[in-house]
């Protein structure tokens, strides 16, 4: 008998707290050892304090000692579009490397995957902070 499992990012979307946008997003982040951290968007009455699903998942992982990731999958309710991470989340992902995968999904299970470095080309990262001019020290 065929068994279909709901993807972790779709399950995480069910917990989205988004009374203002009504736009539910879920994420499932896979660490180097296979451990999965999920996240959802968490909005706030003070609008700009809202958190994206991706950043929720990454923050959960880092706060439990994980800094190396293989992939993140993102889910929304958009039937016609793959959910694409915002610029802030791309930078947040980039902090932990550029060679890991972002799976942008649709509710039907289809997806588009790209590397962090392709979603955020010519990026600024942790190593750049070590490259300032010697004279400014
Ligand atoms: O990739 C995305 C795009 C949007 N959102 C959230 C932010 C806000 O709560 C809502 C509408 O932008 O969706 C995410 O969590 N991840
Ligand atoms: Zn975002």
Q: Where is 113: in which H helix or E strand? A: strand 111-115
Which tens digit of pLDDT belongs to each residue from 16-46?
999 999 999 999 999 999 999 999 999 999 9
3-state percent breakdown (helix, strand, coil) of the chain, nearest 5: 30, 25, 45
pTM for the model: 0.94
The 25-31 sheet, strands edge to edge: 36-40, 25-31, 69-76, 101-105, 111-115
Instruction: State whether the beta carbon of 53 lies less than 6 angstroms from ligand 1.
Output: yes
Mutate to test the pocket of ligand 1, among 24, 53, 93 (most ligand atoms within 8 A of CB): 53
Which tens digit of pLDDT belongs to each residue from 86-133?
999 999 999 999 999 999 999 999 999 999 999 999 999 999 999 877
* CA 128 – CA 117 distance, rounded (Å): 15
pLDDT at res. 5: 73
Instruction: Give all domains of the chain, ordered by start, each with its CATH number.
Output: 8-120 (3.40.140.10)
Please confirm, yes or no, whether 64 is among the known catalytic residues: no
Nearest to residue 53, comparing CAs of 84, 31, 78, 82? 84
* CA 41 – CA 50 distance, rounded (Å): 7
């Amino acid at each position: 008998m065929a068994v279909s499992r709901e993807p972790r990012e779709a399950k995480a979307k069910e917990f989205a707290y988004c009374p203002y946008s009504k736009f539910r997003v879920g994420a499932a982040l896979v660490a180097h050892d296979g451990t999965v951290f999920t996240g959802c968007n968490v909005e706030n009455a003070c609008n700009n304090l809202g958190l994206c699903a991706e950043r929720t998942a990454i923050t959960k992982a880092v706060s439990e000692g994980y800094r190396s990731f293989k992939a993140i999958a993102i889910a929304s309710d958009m039937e016609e579009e793959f959910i694409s991470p915002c610029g802030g989340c791309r930078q947040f992902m980039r902090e932990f490397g550029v060679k890991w995968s972002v799976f942008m999904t649709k509710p039907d299970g289809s997806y588009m995957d790209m590397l962090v470095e392709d979603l955020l080309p010519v990026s600024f990262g942790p190593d750049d902070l070590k490259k300032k001019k010697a004279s400014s020290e």
